[in-house]
Amino acid sequence: IPAAGHSRRMGSPKLLLPWREGTVIDEVLSAWTGSQVTRTIIIVRSDDHALQTACSRWPVDVVRPDHAPADMIASIQAGLRHIADHHHPYDLDRWMVAPADLPTLTTEAIDFMVESSDAHQPSRIVVPVYGEKRGHPVLLPWAISGKVLAAPPGRGLDYVISNESPRFISRPR
Protein backbone atom coordinates (compact mmCIF):
# COMPACT_ATOMS: atom_id res chain seq x y z
CA ILE A 1 0.00 0.00 0.00
CA PRO A 2 1.78 3.19 -1.11
CA ALA A 3 1.18 5.81 1.60
CA ALA A 4 4.24 8.03 1.28
CA GLY A 5 2.56 11.08 -0.24
CA HIS A 6 2.50 14.53 1.29
CA SER A 7 -1.23 15.32 0.95
CA ARG A 8 -0.23 18.62 -0.64
CA ARG A 9 -3.50 19.12 -2.50
CA MET A 10 -5.45 18.23 0.62
CA GLY A 11 -3.49 20.54 2.89
CA SER A 12 -3.50 18.08 5.79
CA PRO A 13 -2.67 14.39 6.30
CA LYS A 14 -5.72 12.84 4.66
CA LEU A 15 -4.91 9.32 5.83
CA LEU A 16 -5.33 10.48 9.43
CA LEU A 17 -8.68 12.19 8.85
CA PRO A 18 -11.65 10.75 10.78
CA TRP A 19 -13.53 8.00 8.96
CA ARG A 20 -16.30 5.94 10.50
CA GLU A 21 -14.99 4.58 13.83
CA GLY A 22 -11.34 5.58 13.28
CA THR A 23 -9.32 7.19 10.52
CA VAL A 24 -8.98 6.70 6.78
CA ILE A 25 -5.85 4.57 7.29
CA ASP A 26 -7.59 2.47 9.94
CA GLU A 27 -10.40 1.69 7.48
CA VAL A 28 -7.90 0.81 4.74
CA LEU A 29 -5.76 -1.41 6.95
CA SER A 30 -8.84 -3.08 8.41
CA ALA A 31 -9.92 -4.11 4.90
CA TRP A 32 -6.49 -5.45 3.96
CA THR A 33 -5.75 -7.28 7.20
CA GLY A 34 -9.24 -8.77 7.28
CA SER A 35 -8.86 -10.18 3.78
CA GLN A 36 -7.33 -13.38 2.43
CA VAL A 37 -3.98 -11.73 1.64
CA THR A 38 -1.17 -13.27 3.65
CA ARG A 39 0.84 -10.13 4.33
CA THR A 40 0.06 -6.42 4.21
CA ILE A 41 2.87 -3.98 3.52
CA ILE A 42 2.52 -0.21 3.71
CA ILE A 43 5.14 2.28 2.52
CA VAL A 44 5.35 5.42 4.69
CA ARG A 45 7.77 8.37 4.58
CA SER A 46 10.42 8.09 7.29
CA ASP A 47 9.49 11.57 8.59
CA ASP A 48 5.74 10.80 8.85
CA HIS A 49 5.76 9.71 12.49
CA ALA A 50 2.02 10.16 13.02
CA LEU A 51 1.17 7.81 10.15
CA GLN A 52 3.82 5.32 11.28
CA THR A 53 2.25 5.30 14.75
CA ALA A 54 -1.24 4.77 13.29
CA CYS A 55 0.01 1.88 11.14
CA SER A 56 1.90 0.27 14.01
CA ARG A 57 -1.44 -0.62 15.63
CA TRP A 58 -2.07 -3.07 12.79
CA PRO A 59 -0.39 -6.40 11.89
CA VAL A 60 1.39 -4.93 8.86
CA ASP A 61 4.94 -4.41 7.67
CA VAL A 62 5.66 -0.67 7.75
CA VAL A 63 8.36 0.18 5.21
CA ARG A 64 10.17 3.48 5.74
CA PRO A 65 12.43 4.27 2.76
CA ASP A 66 15.55 6.30 3.62
CA HIS A 67 14.49 8.96 1.12
CA ALA A 68 10.92 10.05 0.53
CA PRO A 69 9.64 8.37 -2.64
CA ALA A 70 9.21 10.88 -5.46
CA ASP A 71 5.97 9.32 -6.67
CA MET A 72 3.71 6.32 -6.28
CA ILE A 73 5.84 4.02 -8.46
CA ALA A 74 8.86 4.77 -6.25
CA SER A 75 6.77 3.78 -3.21
CA ILE A 76 5.70 0.57 -4.91
CA GLN A 77 9.33 -0.17 -5.80
CA ALA A 78 10.34 0.32 -2.14
CA GLY A 79 7.65 -2.16 -1.14
CA LEU A 80 8.81 -4.69 -3.73
CA ARG A 81 12.41 -4.43 -2.53
CA HIS A 82 11.19 -5.02 1.04
CA ILE A 83 9.26 -8.11 -0.06
CA ALA A 84 12.27 -9.48 -1.95
CA ASP A 85 14.67 -8.83 0.93
CA HIS A 86 12.47 -10.06 3.78
CA HIS A 87 9.96 -12.55 2.39
CA HIS A 88 11.75 -14.26 -0.52
CA PRO A 89 8.77 -14.77 -2.85
CA TYR A 90 8.56 -17.32 -5.65
CA ASP A 91 7.79 -16.41 -9.26
CA LEU A 92 4.32 -17.96 -8.86
CA ASP A 93 3.52 -15.73 -5.86
CA ARG A 94 1.30 -12.72 -6.42
CA TRP A 95 1.06 -9.24 -4.99
CA MET A 96 -1.62 -6.58 -5.02
CA VAL A 97 -1.54 -2.82 -4.94
CA ALA A 98 -4.03 -0.06 -4.24
CA PRO A 99 -3.47 3.51 -3.07
CA ALA A 100 -3.76 4.14 0.67
CA ASP A 101 -6.45 6.78 0.25
CA LEU A 102 -9.25 4.36 -0.66
CA PRO A 103 -11.25 3.93 2.56
CA THR A 104 -14.17 2.48 0.58
CA LEU A 105 -12.06 -0.46 -0.63
CA THR A 106 -13.59 -3.47 1.06
CA THR A 107 -12.33 -6.81 2.28
CA GLU A 108 -14.82 -8.36 -0.14
CA ALA A 109 -13.28 -6.54 -3.11
CA ILE A 110 -9.78 -7.64 -2.08
CA ASP A 111 -10.95 -11.23 -1.60
CA PHE A 112 -12.73 -11.12 -4.97
CA MET A 113 -9.41 -10.30 -6.61
CA VAL A 114 -7.61 -13.09 -4.73
CA GLU A 115 -10.31 -15.55 -5.78
CA SER A 116 -10.24 -14.24 -9.37
CA SER A 117 -6.56 -14.99 -9.83
CA ASP A 118 -6.19 -17.70 -12.41
CA ALA A 119 -4.14 -20.66 -11.21
CA HIS A 120 -3.69 -21.69 -14.85
CA GLN A 121 -2.25 -18.31 -15.83
CA PRO A 122 -0.30 -17.16 -12.76
CA SER A 123 1.83 -14.82 -14.85
CA ARG A 124 -1.12 -12.63 -15.82
CA ILE A 125 -2.01 -9.26 -14.29
CA VAL A 126 -5.63 -8.96 -13.20
CA VAL A 127 -7.30 -5.53 -13.17
CA PRO A 128 -10.80 -4.95 -11.80
CA VAL A 129 -13.21 -2.92 -13.89
CA TYR A 130 -16.28 -1.15 -12.52
CA GLY A 131 -18.52 -0.18 -15.40
CA GLU A 132 -16.08 1.34 -17.90
CA LYS A 133 -13.48 2.39 -15.33
CA ARG A 134 -10.40 0.52 -14.10
CA GLY A 135 -10.26 0.06 -10.36
CA HIS A 136 -8.27 -1.28 -7.44
CA PRO A 137 -6.72 -3.40 -6.17
CA VAL A 138 -4.65 -4.68 -9.07
CA LEU A 139 -3.25 -8.19 -8.76
CA LEU A 140 0.20 -8.84 -10.24
CA PRO A 141 2.44 -11.89 -10.47
CA TRP A 142 5.72 -11.70 -8.57
CA ALA A 143 7.51 -12.64 -11.79
CA ILE A 144 6.71 -9.18 -13.14
CA SER A 145 8.19 -7.33 -10.16
CA GLY A 146 11.53 -6.93 -11.98
CA LYS A 147 9.76 -4.97 -14.73
CA VAL A 148 8.13 -2.74 -12.12
CA LEU A 149 11.48 -2.18 -10.42
CA ALA A 150 13.00 -1.26 -13.80
CA ALA A 151 10.19 1.11 -14.84
CA PRO A 152 11.64 4.30 -16.31
CA PRO A 153 11.52 7.41 -14.10
CA GLY A 154 8.25 9.26 -14.45
CA ARG A 155 6.39 6.16 -15.67
CA GLY A 156 3.78 4.70 -13.38
CA LEU A 157 2.57 1.20 -12.78
CA ASP A 158 0.12 1.66 -15.67
CA TYR A 159 3.14 1.77 -17.99
CA VAL A 160 4.10 -1.77 -16.97
CA ILE A 161 0.52 -3.03 -16.91
CA SER A 162 -0.21 -1.72 -20.41
CA ASN A 163 2.70 -3.74 -21.82
CA GLU A 164 1.60 -7.03 -20.25
CA SER A 165 -1.86 -7.87 -21.69
CA PRO A 166 -3.74 -7.76 -18.39
CA ARG A 167 -6.96 -9.62 -17.78
CA PHE A 168 -9.84 -7.25 -16.98
CA ILE A 169 -12.58 -8.57 -14.72
CA SER A 170 -15.87 -6.97 -13.82
CA ARG A 171 -17.09 -6.87 -10.29
CA PRO A 172 -20.42 -5.44 -9.24
CA ARG A 173 -20.11 -2.64 -6.69
Residue 99 has pLDDT above 80, yes or no: yes
Q: How many other C-beta atoms lie within 10 A of the C-beta of residue 74?
A: 18
Question: What's the average model confidence in pLDDT over 112-126?
Answer: 83
How far apart CA 69 and CA 88 sit, in angstroms, is 23
Residue 119 — pLDDT band, cuts 50, 70, 90? low
Residue 112 has what pLDDT? 93
Render pLDDT for 13-58 as a digit per residue (tens, 0 to 9): 899 999 999 999 999 999 999 999 999 999 999 999 999 999 999 9
Burial class (CB in 10 A: 0-12, 13-18, 19+), 25: buried
Question: What's the average model confidence in pLDDT over 97-106?
Answer: 97
What's the mean per-residue pLDDT of the chain? Answer: 93
Question: What's the average model confidence in pLDDT over 129-152?
Answer: 93
